[in-house]
Amino acid sequence: MNLPVAGYGGGSTKKAGGHTNKLACKSKRYVVFMSNISVRFKDVLSRGEKLFIPYIMAGDPDIALTEKVIYRLEESGADIIELGIPFSDPMADGPTIQAASERALKNDVTLSDVLALLARVRTKSSIPIILMGYYNPIFFYGAERFAVDAKRAGADGLIVVDLPPDEVDELKPFTDKEGIDIIFLAAPTSTDERLKLIASKSSGFVYYVSVTGVTGARSTLAAAIQHKSELIKSYMEIPVGIGFGISTPAHVTELCRSFDAVIVGSAIVRFLEDISSEDKLLDDVGNFVKELKSATKVN
């Protein structure tokens, strides 16, 4: 669902992602529709906090437990959740998330299963959820059908790792029609021209990859990240989140000085590698997320 924000003005008004609403005249009343993701960013940032966005793989180790983990992530302070779609060749993912994808695929988890899971979650939770994966499963599902079914299930956003902004036109018209934000990745190697293109195509927020290479928790992060954030944000009219390699509250505190959100994946997925007790797993994940979320309170 997109939420209306009313106002008055003339000329034009910018929407998230750089789209423009033309206004008939200065005295006309206009309504700008904000996505659930944009509303969540606005609300959390207005409290003097940055957003914490955890990632988990759908179906790891099974769909039923994924649903319970989603609820625990929300209870523990997650602002938005990224839900991975299992894929057999996750080229941008490190060994931790690759293994999570393999565990899900061994249970025959499909894109349809992920959408059904999301629909069940929506009966109990309205937390913004971003589907994250690769284009191959979407292509075979059908781009238009996927956009319709994803919206019906309750998806708020989409990250397609291997579908860059200059190749997204086969999908974006359908996600735009359904009001699903498409979030693109910017990298340390992105040129000025590339950043401009990402800014023109993105909605919701932009995902800055903190390191070159694949995902995975790291003990240190490059000092150059802080300087790069100023350049990236100079091109963006929407928030910028940062992910890849973030694994400690200290990382979160450091990065929240420059970015609007932090995304943590591998450090959370590791809890699912060896489960001795479901209750202990949920408690351990919940406590870890609480620590990371506490570190986002910059004021």
Rounded Cα gap, residues 282 and 173, in angstroms: 38
* Closest-CA residue to 83 (of 42, 61, 115): 115
Rounded Cα gap, residues 85 and 51, in angstroms: 22
> Tokens 């008055």 appear where?
8
Instruction: Just list the catalytic residues.
Output: 82, 93
Q: H or E stretch including 82?
A: strand 81-84
CA distances from 276 to 62, 103, 131 (A): 15, 16, 28
Alpha carbon 105 to its chain centroid, in Å, reads 22
CB-based burial of residue 230 (10 Å sphere; 0-12 exposed, 13-18 middle, 19+ buried)? exposed
